[in-house]
Structure 1
């Protein structure tokens, strides 16, 4: 086509570009299995609130999604190819997780979007009806994938207005818990509502929905994964207007004392660290970093004898909980009098002389400070985690100095957990990670609000190692 200009010349015009057509999003409908919509199911569901349903109200609902069009397989495939997986690790858990699915793109992930909408509408309305609990509009959900060595330690989910926790599984059809691990474990509780032993456990069965009511006693965990088979799920919480403030558990009670006894260090501690020249070198390094690692700290013959005594006497260790805080075996010194070399080292660590040595190596005044000494046996399943009560205690303890002495025969696999990790209160980024190493001493200067935990020692753990920890509290800090 040509048109005339004002001066009469003909000029060609360009045809307008066709508008790009919007691609329509086809959302496949997802529905609850009709048998769970029948009137008699409501009465059956409400039996789950009975006291007989121990250890707290929970439900396992098999074949939850009506799957005549293989919708479960389609959602699973899209979730497996999801690019939004992020590695999440802290004191409580290790897994791959997505962001909350409320922000998911329906064009990019139509099936995951459909499943999210299914949870937001049909499942929420159904749960409100069968439970008799009035729910608010808020629904949280995200994808989770546990791989080998991943786990989620005991906790109760009690945050804000959470009312029902849910997990919908998209695992392999022939899931074998003995081979794969990954069961959901529900815990009994004591009179103080602290978790004790496993009451029930459920395999993550394909197309099953686990629901439980969130409360002070809804303690549960995901058992460690021991195979490479992915444990895939969409999980989250339905909310109500109810709000329960969680209780703070007590801080672990560890005896504190002011060192008064004297002890000769020369036959126990490597003479290298007893010379003034080496002490000055170490102190300078410590001043620059506020932490250091000293290899070959004990006299090697003493290190070997201590290890031999401790590895041969597991009955002298007592396991401490509760499991939502820790699972760690501590040496009972009342039973260990016959461990000659171990007792010599303990006397050394509790002495005024060791406090003076720590001061010379670090430049921190610790003589006269309250002190504690613990001996832990670290093996598969050992951990301790953090809570608000630990942050309160850290702030009350002021500036501290930790000395960690590792007694072990072999090197420890870095992927086996069992690391000591320091973080700041309210932060997620690690300040320091200490890996176990034979006959090494790690010394750390701690500011108020800095906390430490032991990462869960997983199935890659080999022989146990032993951790001697000396802590000096409210130490004096001399400003330059």
Structure 2
């Protein structure tokens, strides 16, 4: 029966034609048959044995059966994907897509097919070979690491995650020595904290890395050293199991109340000791709650301290755990030969320096608990944040930080190593402080504001030294 036509002004009109839909060719993707053999199940379960250190993990080479070039098709679509987003914080820097669950099959049929492959065939296979019942939830997104990008040590332990996976779409001739980007798995200590690298895997094309998520599944992506893109699809399979992650203690830096006097004029630029200049600085600080003072130390003192510190690396101890920090801190028990450095440290611990900080900022620090730490910052240095740091910041109340930079040359803009302040549960930076020779950066921070040092990458040249004086629970007087 024909559809009747509508009439307009007594004349018949044609029915509107339905819009043409783009046809989608869905090419199926399958697991390499060698992993589907019954004998492989027992091979897979060996990964759960205690001898498989540092935690259960598997590398499956040539994971996708690629007779119809499906790997190349997924790679091409992912390379030309329009929604890459730059992601950068204390833990990582990379390009990433949103979860691929919303991928449009008419625009990206190969990626859609791969997502469906993960949701169905891979999930069912993983349940069978592992013996672990998985839920319907599968998270997956695209990741791309470019030069200097990295992902610092972490264990992925969030809610119901059970198995993490990474499927690599990298160049067939990937060279880890030239490109970097290896996946590194860490040993752990009795407190379940990560220690040293136990094993590592190059991101080999068409290989799948799987590991069981737990309190000890510490891993990282080593820094990328070249422009060769490290392209992957990665995510998690979930089960009903939940493990509450252990919260590490905040770093313990010795605190004291300044009691001894020390003459400042031989160390600190006399410009900042004049009342007129102090009033100018305080007025600027009251408007911004932060400022940068160039040439804070006398040039000769700055240069002597740099010479002492750069010539005595054995005076520094590297502190961790690597999931929290990798930084060399000055051990004051090893500083007998650092004459000028010791003088400056005594100065920073004195009542005179506390009074100077108060005059420059208008913040009352008299009687406040104080700490002084000296860090050597070079390629590979970082510290990251956790809930314990936010809790400590709340306990510490209002604080005043004074950061002194001792360095020979200007720091490369893209080398990392910046101090970054953020507010608890916020992603927007409040302040970024770039290293600068003989500069003092002064910051007033509220409870819940925390700071980290961005990973210093392969563009870093000469090390610099960061001396940080913090005054805790300072008095705030309203105007």
TM-score by length of 1: 0.97
**Alignment correspondent of 2:310:** 311
**Alignment correspondent of 2:326:** 327
**Alignment correspondent of 2:352:** 353
SS in 1 for 2:309: helix
Deviation sequence 1:217-256 (CA, Å, 0-9, x none): 0000000000000000000000000000000111111100
Q: 2:367 and 2:378 mapped to 1: Cα distance?
A: 34
Q: 2:364 and 2:378 mapped to 1: Cα distance?
A: 34
Deviation sequence 1:176-209 (CA, Å, 0-9, x none): 0000000000000001110000000000000000
Q: 1:345 and 1:34 mapped to 2: Cα distance?
A: 68
Q: 1:323 and 1:239 mapped to 2: Cα distance?
A: 26
Deviation sequence 1:406-434 (CA, Å, 0-9, x none): 00010001100000000000011100000
Deviation sequence 1:17-56 (CA, Å, 0-9, x none): 4322222222110010111111000010000000010000
**Alignment correspondent of 2:406:** 407
**Alignment correspondent of 1:31:** 30
SS in 1 for 2:47: helix
Instruction: Give 4+ residue runs of structure 1 displaced > 3 Å after superposition.
Output: 10-17
Q: 2:185 and 2:464 mapped to 1: Cα distance?
A: 30
Deviation at 1:337, TM superposition (A): 1.9
Deviation sequence 1:260-280 (CA, Å, 0-9, x none): 010000111111111111111
Write the mapping of 1:328-407 to structure 2, written as runs, cut at 5 A.
Answer: 328-407=327-406
Deviation sequence 1:411-462 (CA, Å, 0-9, x none): 0011000000000000111000000000000000010000000000000000
Deviation at 1:316, TM superposition (A): 0.6
**Alignment correspondent of 2:208:** 209
**Alignment correspondent of 1:433:** 432
Q: 2:347 and 2:413 mapped to 1: Cα distance?
A: 30
Q: 2:49 and 2:82 mapped to 1: Cα distance?
A: 42
Query: Is 1:421 aligned with 2:420?
Result: yes
SS in 2 for 1:258: coil
Q: 2:354 and 2:19 mapped to 1: Cα distance?
A: 76
SS in 2 for 1:409: coil
Write the mapping of 1:55-454 to structure 2, written as runs, cut at 5 A.
Answer: 55-454=54-453
Q: 2:26 and 2:85 mapped to 1: Cα distance?
A: 26
Structure 1: state its 5+ residue gaps.
none
Q: 2:336 and 2:42 mapped to 1: Cα distance?
A: 61
Deviation at 1:15, TM superposition (A): 3.5
Deviation at 1:344, TM superposition (A): 1.0
Q: 1:181 and 1:145 mapped to 2: Cα distance?
A: 13
Q: 2:426 and 2:21 mapped to 1: Cα distance?
A: 43
Q: 2:194 and 2:16 mapped to 1: Cα distance?
A: 67
Deviation sequence 1:271-330 (CA, Å, 0-9, x none): 111111111110011000000000000001100000011011111100000000000000
Q: 1:84 and 1:206 mapped to 2: Cα distance?
A: 23
Q: 2:221 and 2:258 mapped to 1: Cα distance?
A: 43
**Count of equivalent residues:** 475
Structure 2: state its 5+ residue gaps.
none
Q: 1:12 and 1:101 mapped to 2: Cα distance?
A: 50
SS in 2 for 1:438: coil
Q: 2:214 and 2:20 mapped to 1: Cα distance?
A: 51
Deviation at 1:16, TM superposition (A): 3.9
SS in 2 for 1:406: strand
Q: 2:209 and 2:365 mapped to 1: Cα distance?
A: 52
SS in 1 for 2:21: coil
SS in 1 for 2:372: strand
Q: 1:275 and 1:55 mapped to 2: Cα distance?
A: 59
